[in-house]
Structure 1
């Protein structure tokens, strides 16, 4: 191949941002250098990689998608090579770069990472965001892997499943339904809903009520898991969530209670996603193993308590 890794990175950035000009700004080089990299890639591939759309940027062609899939694997391998070289330098700490669905940052990620990191001198970089943003970070090699729900499009087919989290109701302790051992959607739909209003998440939560043919009135919208809990604790209504606080750093207040929902509802799976394919680096294989054990212990404890 007559292309450099830098040129591959330029092409991948064009695909990520959908714009030659935006890629040039991000890479801090001229547009002509970006175009030169794209031209070299198209010569290498023997096909056009991007369709130019006036005033709307560019989009990868089928040939471009095949090229980019291989390019990202090569760029991921380059990032891991650089990481392995850093480990041999006594002045450079190992850096663990992970992305997660934003609510996970406070709910369990620090505790999970504490189990994984058993040595000093390791720097953790945690990137918290919504799923579309997580996938962009993954494609751009900003992170090595992400933890998210298997909701929405764009996830690789070889994602590693860690756990399944059925939805449950979050209620104020003085709510009438808080006295029940479990609640139904028919009872909840009459109350105002505090909605976690994140892309894909809000649609999933609202469609749960389609089983009873009616949707609750939304009384409070927020993009923050912490604000959902605060709003319910202040009496704005109930919420439906999938994740409970798992770590020691973010417990519920004494004004909140969580109840099982009696209906059999679709439950998203928590997955680890990366772009390494079968060539996963040792640290990522180990992190996946630690994460599986972490959630297995949580599931065992949850079943024991029933």
Structure 2
């Protein structure tokens, strides 16, 4: 059932194989078995165009997701009585967070406990699909875009700031206006929703900058700015024992009145939230309160 739900989420056999980290033949075998047992095809398979659920497939997927959610809760409860295999926390995060602060946060959560961690890093649509399919227990992401559960917990507001080369003429200023940046080359963190959010900020200044370097990697953004490709706009900086900025980089606040995204933690348990997730949410909130906004 997990393989078939993954096919629906990714829209292809190959995508499901990558997401489940298993051979495509295993995905195909699961589909054939389900088709035979249901007496109907669950997906229309179109060469070069991926797959789409049939009406029977939609019914199967709806029931399968409910059962997978129940399975995840059952396994979580039984972990408390298992003294041979340590329980595993499966958590998803917005891709850049994996290097910026998640290890520091999760180290505090697991300290003194026999808990293993599996960290899934992805874009927000991926995170939401992993949450829906019970591949992860919870996700940590921005409140940008739709789809977060209504009871998602806010952790910290993170206003945008500018990342510049140390020799940039504006690096000596205490703060920077967006309007002063629009004629300089821009290094864009090109992730879905993130890139749209970053570029929309410049609409306030009345002009968008020339994109000189585009990458999906937070670390590549920092490297490009350090190499002189231009400036960048970001919301987070590395926290704690992660990879700090090089001496070639400086960060300055933006004085413009801009929309401020919030880091959220979300799950699908609703009011039946397990104790470990309540503890994780409380620890995450105190983590950001402790390090303070100047640190991130």
TM-score range, shorter chain: 0.7 to 0.9
How far the C-alpha of 1:67 sits from its partner, in A, is: 7.6
Partner Cα separation in structure 1 for residue 94 and residue 287 of structure 2: 17
Partner Cα separation in structure 1 for residue 205 and residue 10 of structure 2: 41
Counterparts of 1:34-73 in structure 2, within 5 Å, are 34-35=34-35, 57-59=51-53, 64=58, 68=62, 72-73=65-66
Report if the CA contact (8 A) 2:4-2:31 is conserved. no
Q: Does 1:235 align with 2:212?
A: no
Report if the CA contact (8 A) 1:94-1:121 is conserved. yes
> Could you say which residue in structure 2 is the equivalent of 1:294?
287
C-alpha spacing 1:51/1:67, structure 2 compared with 1 (3 Å) = closer
Between 273-282 and 254-263, report the one with greater CA deviation: 273-282
Partner Cα separation in structure 2 for residue 13 and residue 103 of structure 1: 23
Question: TM-score under structure 1 normalisation?
Answer: 0.82
Partner Cα separation in structure 1 for residue 151 and residue 61 of structure 2: 19
Q: Does 1:252 align with 2:245?
A: yes
How far the C-alpha of 1:73 sits from its partner, in A, is: 4.7
> Could you say which residue in structure 2 is the equivalent of 1:103?
96
SS in 1 for 2:270: coil
C-alpha spacing 1:52/1:154, structure 2 compared with 1 (3 Å) = farther
> Could you say which residue in structure 2 is the equivalent of 1:137?
130
C-alpha spacing 1:247/1:279, structure 2 compared with 1 (3 Å) = same
Counterparts of 1:114-125 in structure 2, within 5 Å, are 114-125=107-118
C-alpha spacing 1:124/1:154, structure 2 compared with 1 (3 Å) = same
How far the C-alpha of 1:279 sits from its partner, in A, is: 1.4
Report if the CA contact (8 A) 1:170-1:257 is conserved. yes
SS in 2 for 1:156: coil
Report if the CA contact (8 A) 1:11-1:38 is conserved. no
Partner Cα separation in structure 2 for residue 268 and residue 167 of structure 1: 8
Partner Cα separation in structure 1 for residue 129 and residue 173 of structure 2: 43
Give RMSD over aligned pairs. Answer: 3.0
Report if the CA contact (8 A) 1:20-1:58 is conserved. no
Report if the CA contact (8 A) 1:173-1:257 is conserved. yes
How far the C-alpha of 1:277 sits from its partner, in A, is: 1.8
> Could you say which residue in structure 2 is the equivalent of 1:280?
273
Report if the CA contact (8 A) 2:3-2:30 is conserved. no
Partner Cα separation in structure 2 for residue 168 and residue 228 of structure 1: 14
Report if the CA contact (8 A) 1:184-1:261 is conserved. yes
> Could you say which residue in structure 1 is the equivalent of 2:186?
193
Report if the CA contact (8 A) 1:11-1:37 is conserved. no
For each residue in 1:198-245, what CA deviation from the matched residue of structure 2 results, as whole angstroms up to 9, or x when unmatched? 111111111110012111011111111111111111111110000111
Aligned length: 286
